Amino acid sequence: MKKSKISALLLCAAMALSVSAGCDNNNKSSKADKSASNAEKYNNPGNEESTKNTPQEMTINPNLGENQISAGIDEEADANDTVFKLNSVVDAGVQGSNGKKYIYLNVDITNNTDEDYSLSSLNNFYLLHDDNIMETSDLSTMFYAKNNLKDIEITQDPIIIPANSKFSGFISGFEVDPNLDSFIVGFYPTQNDIGNKQTVIEIEVTPDDIQPINN
């Protein structure tokens, strides 16, 4: 997947999160638009219409994803005083009535600063696949895991990482096409600045990297 396509797509998705900015009409039906809607509902539960994004949330980094760091599964990547490692990717199979399958990520995130900071699966993670579609986490996967999966305990957002400490565990999962078995996992080491997305850590996932899980 070419870097230019990834950068363009990331910029488009970020712009969709802004109330005053967006992609062109050809992209209005894309996953980026769904991501913007999910993000607003997540940040403003029960008050989506009356409470809009704050000016800080609407700020878009013009250098979005400019610094791309590649890593492999079970390989540490260090950026922005944060060490990230994707331990595993698990497939829970097709769930629900929409024919989508649920993908979960098990990660390690180390905070090498002297302050606690907060991350979220929605703002800091994405999946990117060959249809040039960005997938963001879906809360339905968290509820499904809680009620149906014995071996997966999802950490609910926000993910608080204490100073000089490490988080290890599963984040909220992704609803994807049942035939999807190759994609890129992206992680923004934003620390407490949700718009600090100049650097992104990317891990390419192949079919051999995905582990099936029994309900």
The 10s digit of each residue's pLDDT in 71-111 is: 999 999 999 999 999 999 999 999 877 899 999 999 999 99
pLDDT of residue 27: 43
Residues of the chain with pLDDT under 70: 1-62, 214-215
pLDDT of residue 96: 73
pTM: 0.72
Contacts by 68-71, CB closer than 8 A, 24 or more apart:
68/3, 68/6, 68/199, 68/200, 68/202, 69/199, 69/200, 69/201, 69/202, 70/201, 70/202, 70/203, 70/204, 71/201, 71/202, 71/203
pLDDT of residue 141: 94
pLDDT of residue 156: 92
The 10s digit of each residue's pLDDT in 151-171 is: 899 999 999 999 999 999 999
- Residue 35 phi, psi dihedral angles, 5° rounding: -65, -40
pLDDT of residue 88: 97
